[in-house]
Amino acid sequence: MNILEVKNLTKQFGGLTATSNINMNVEKNSITAVIGPNGAGKTTFFNMITAVYKPTAGDILLNGKSLVGLKPHQVSHYGITRTFQNIRLFNDMTVLENVMVGMHQNLKAHWVGTLLQLPHIRKMEEKAKVEAYDILKYVGLEDYVNENAGNLAYGAQRRLEIGRAMAAKPKVLLLDEPAAGMNPKETERLTNLIYDLRSKLDVTIILIEHDMKLVMKISDFIYVLDHGELIASGKPDEIRNNKRVIEAYLGKGAIANG
Amino acid sequence: MSALFEKLTQSKKNQIILFIAYVFLTGAGLFLLPDSTIAFLLLLFSILILYYLNFNLRAKWVTGIVILAAIVPFIASHSDSYQTYMEVGTLVGIYCAMALGLNIVVGFAGLLDLGFIAFFAVGAYSYAIFASGQASKFMPFGHYPLPGGTFWIFIIVGACVAAIFGILLGIPVLRVRGDYLAIVTLGFGEIIRILLNNMDHPINITNGSMGIASITPPNFFGISIGSSSQFYYIAFGIFLVVIYVVRKLENSKLGRSWKAVRDNEIAAQAMGIPLVKTKLAAFAIGASFSGMMGVVFAAKQMFVDATSFTYLESTMVLVMVILGGMGSVPGVILGAAVVIILRTQVLTNISNWLSSMSTDYGISIPPALSPEKMQLLIFGLLLIIFALYRTQGLIPHKNRKVDVELLKKESEKAALAREKATSGGTES
Ligand SMILES: Nc1ncnc2c1ncn2[C@@H]1O[C@H](COP(=O)(O)OP(=O)(O)OP(=O)(O)O)[C@@H](O)[C@H]1O
Ligand SMILES: [Mg+2]
């Protein structure tokens, strides 16, 4: 069953076509990778799904319902959350608070109730804290609960972003270059984390990644973008040997010369 | 010496003894010395000391309230300058609440507002118009002025009206950011002031530049409230309410949403936080504090006109927030107290001293250069100094830390409960 369908998705910035006519079907509970050289339009693609950008043309369907025209926070309520290529944490809030913000859409706490100290709201807050702590343990940040997010090391910040996105209990999780800047050991840990996420949380994962080892190992299906166009799609083995993909990465003639 | 001091202050018992001694000494000073502004300020300073002692939180609150609600007024009442002291206390209370309101907008939600005094003005005018004969000039029904007993209702009305104006300001402002936001809010503040100054025609609502006089004083079960020592308690009461609201909101869902929006708008939205609603809530709740205190201000002065709500006043409230520490509740309170005391006590005292110097020694200082008149310069310099050397303010903001050990335990307990539930499920 397809959870997410993308139809003829196009984005133009003035004269520049960042993505053109992209079609994609993402199966429920799968791990899908979107790869391509720098500037291929991958992040733009994510930005359209999460309503940061409005598509110039095309449609995005989550379980058959169109997301085009929604506000970013509405898309999140529909069940899509993401991480960012250039990390976007709440730097002056604690690590725990960052995760708690991720949980907000599932916390029904009106501020008037907070002021009245309604017992069920207090209980909910306490429970949310414990749950947030569990998530931090899951992504390996339980030692930094009270630290400001901005003070974390790079790899830890990436993991916190994943934790924050997980906290929203999304149906679809978009990861934009989660392994960027990580050393091999951290990358391996991340790989296991993503695997585990999928099976434990029953979530569909789409990730943009440049680390081919990771992509080939982890993905069920791969889409390849180049200059805004979808040039190939298929299982890892098919992509590995696809001529157009190799050309896109290494430049025309690479195969002839090599 | 400092080692000795450290040793003395280490144990809780010593802390308590030293603190009581301090309160007693400064209190005695205020009691015995005639016109002892310094003793009064030192007594107030005890609240700051209290903040840094390591008692438990509840004990601190109780002590602080006892000092401010009983000890300070009682001792001051024996002084000739009783009403002056209480006037300062009232002003500190009023501006603390306002600064805490602005702190929600600037410190929590990260939205610069240079026209914050407008909400104070709106609150003040809403009481002034209806608690004086002014309302009868345009209202087709009702008898005005309303009796002093309505003051208490008007505190709520002032909060609501200010909140509505907060939302009115918020809606256009949400489209702009950064520098533009500052300019739009500045413009809003000025528009409100100019409107109030000119709404005497075609319908006379605010009585224009003449202002509104003979405002009915509040009435508390038959007692007419007119002196600063009485208003002190009203301001103090509202201040306590405001502090409660701020403390509760700061670490709630809404408070976290504000800070998330402040730290990263795009990420906040991606986590499902509605930008518009969250920002409007900050404007409305922040403004409502100002509105309440505006009502108190109008009742205290018994006269309002637009000159009390100039851009300078907006800047002052902003200075309180920045000086104290953006986002830091104790910091902002300290900032408000420092600025008010500087304005009403220190600068006037220095001015008086300088002018007495000039008569005694024949040194003539032109009145235009008296510190009282140089407020803008002095506060401007303060802002620059803080921007350069202490950007986080007097008491920097600290995030509330959670008890990790407790969380760990709770988490283990929850895990155990889950395990039991699932194993119980398979057995049956
Ligand atoms: N807001 C924007 N305005 C104008 N052009 C943009 C904007 N965002 C992206 N672009 C352009 O769109 C193209 C695709 O950018 P995008 O960030 O999607 O690439 P990417 O595949 O994520 O690359 P990378 O691997 O480097 O992250 C680039 O040429 C980029 O300059
Ligand atoms: Mg990118």
Cβ–ligand 1 contact at A39 (below 6 Å): yes
Cβ–ligand 1 contact at A38 (below 6 Å): yes
Q: What is the secondary structure of A92-145 as a DSSP string? A: TSBHHHHHHHHHGGG----HHHHHTT-HHHHHHHHHHHHHHHHHHHHTT-GGGT
Position B96 scores a pLDDT of: 95
For residue B260, list chain A residues with Cβ-Cβ distance below 8 A.
90, 93, 101
Position A51 scores a pLDDT of: 96
Residue pointed to by tokens 């103090």: B236
CATH architecture assignment, domain A1-79+170-258:
3-Layer(aba) Sandwich (3.40)
Is residue A39 within 8 Å of residue A26, measured between CB atoms? Answer: no
For residue A145, list chain B residues with Cβ-Cβ distance below 8 A.
402, 404, 407
Say whether A133 and B264 touch across the interface (CB within 8 A): no
What secondary structure letter does DSSP report for B273? -
For residue B399, list chain A residues with Cβ-Cβ distance below 8 A.
92-94, 97, 146, 148
Is residue B107 within 8 Å of residue B321, measured between CB atoms? Answer: yes
Cβ–ligand 1 contact at A85 (below 6 Å): yes
Residue pointed to by tokens 């002084």: B79
Chain A to chain B, count of Cβ pairs less than 8 Å apart?
128
A140-153 residue pLDDT tens: 999 999 999 999 99
CA B43 from chain centre, in angstroms, equals 20
B11-28 residue pLDDT tens: 778 888 888 888 888 888
**Average pLDDT, integer, range B260-272:** 96
Question: Rg of the Cα trace of chain B?
Answer: 24
**Average pLDDT, integer, range B320-335:** 94
A247-258 residue pLDDT tens: 887 776 555 444
**Does an H or E element contain B164, and which?**
helix B151-173
Question: Which of A5-14, B23-32, B260-269 bottoms out in mean pLDDT, i.e. has the lowest?
Answer: B23-32
Which among B244, B274, B411 has the least Cβ separation from residue A130? Answer: B411
Say whether B271 and A105 touch across the interface (CB within 8 A): yes
Task: Kindly list the strands in the beta sheet with A57-62, ordered across the sheet, starting from the edge strand earlier in the chain.
Answer: A16-27, A2-13, A57-62, A65-66
B307-321 residue pLDDT tens: 999 998 999 999 999
How many Å apart are CA B413 and CA B360, to the nearest integer? 77
Hey, what are A229's tokens?
A: 């166009």
Quick check: B179 pLDDT over 50? yes
The sign of the torsion formed by the CA atoms of A108, A122, A167, B272 equals: positive
Say whether B401 and A114 touch across the interface (CB within 8 A): no
How many Å apart are CA A236 and CA A212, to the nearest integer? 10
How many residues are listed for chain B in this entry? Answer: 428
Question: What whole-number percentage of chain B has pLDDT above 70?
Answer: 94
Taking CA atoms, A108 is separated from B80, B252, B365, in Å, by 55, 11, 63
Position A255 scores a pLDDT of: 53
Which among B273, B274, B402 has the least Cβ separation from residue A146? Answer: B402
Q: How far is the CA of B347 from the centre of ligand 2 (A)?
A: 57
Cβ–ligand 1 contact at A86 (below 6 Å): no
Bridge partners (DSSP) of residue A232 are A224
For residue A123, list chain B residues with Cβ-Cβ distance below 8 A.
none
Quick check: B2 pLDDT over 70? no
Rounded to 5°, the CA angle A216-A221-A226 comes to 80
Which among A90, A107, A134 has the least Cβ separation from residue B259? Answer: A90
Q: Across all residues in chain B, what is the average pLDDT? A: 87
At residue A81, φ and ψ (nearest 5 deg) are: -125, 170
> Given the DSSP bridges, would you call strands A229-234 and B219-220 parallel, antiparallel or unpaired?
unpaired
Q: Pick the residue of A50, A80, A97, A127 with the most B CBs within 10 A to test the interface with B by mutation.
A: A97
Say whether B254 and A133 touch across the interface (CB within 8 A): no
How many Å apart are CA A62 and CA A79, to the nearest integer? 9
Position A65 scores a pLDDT of: 94
Question: Which of A102-106, A219-223, B199-203, B242-246 bottoms out in mean pLDDT, i.e. has the lowest?
Answer: B199-203
Position A112 scores a pLDDT of: 84
Closest of A38, A66, A15 to residue A180, by C-alpha: A38
Task: Kindly list the strands in the beta sheet with A172-176, ordered across the sheet, starting from the edge strand earlier in the chain.
Answer: A80-82, A172-176, A204-208, A31-35, A221-226, A229-234
Residue type, A251: G
Nearest CA to ligand 1 atom 1: A13
Best-predicted range by mean pLDDT among A196-205, B5-14, B26-35?
A: A196-205
Which among A82, A125, A146 has the least Cβ separation from residue B404? Answer: A146
Q: Give domain limits for chain A.
A: 1-79+170-258, 89-167
Rounded to 5°, the CA angle B225-B227-B228 comes to 120
Dihedral angle, C-alpha B193, B197, B202, B207, nearest 10 °: 130
Closest of A52, A50, A71 to residue A60, by C-alpha: A50
Looking at this predicted complex, what is its ipTM?
0.92
Position B7 scores a pLDDT of: 67
Closest of A216, A207, A138, A210 to residue A181, by C-alpha: A210
Residue type, A166: M
Rounded to 5°, the CA angle B252-B108-B391 comes to 140
What secondary structure letter does DSSP report for B428? -
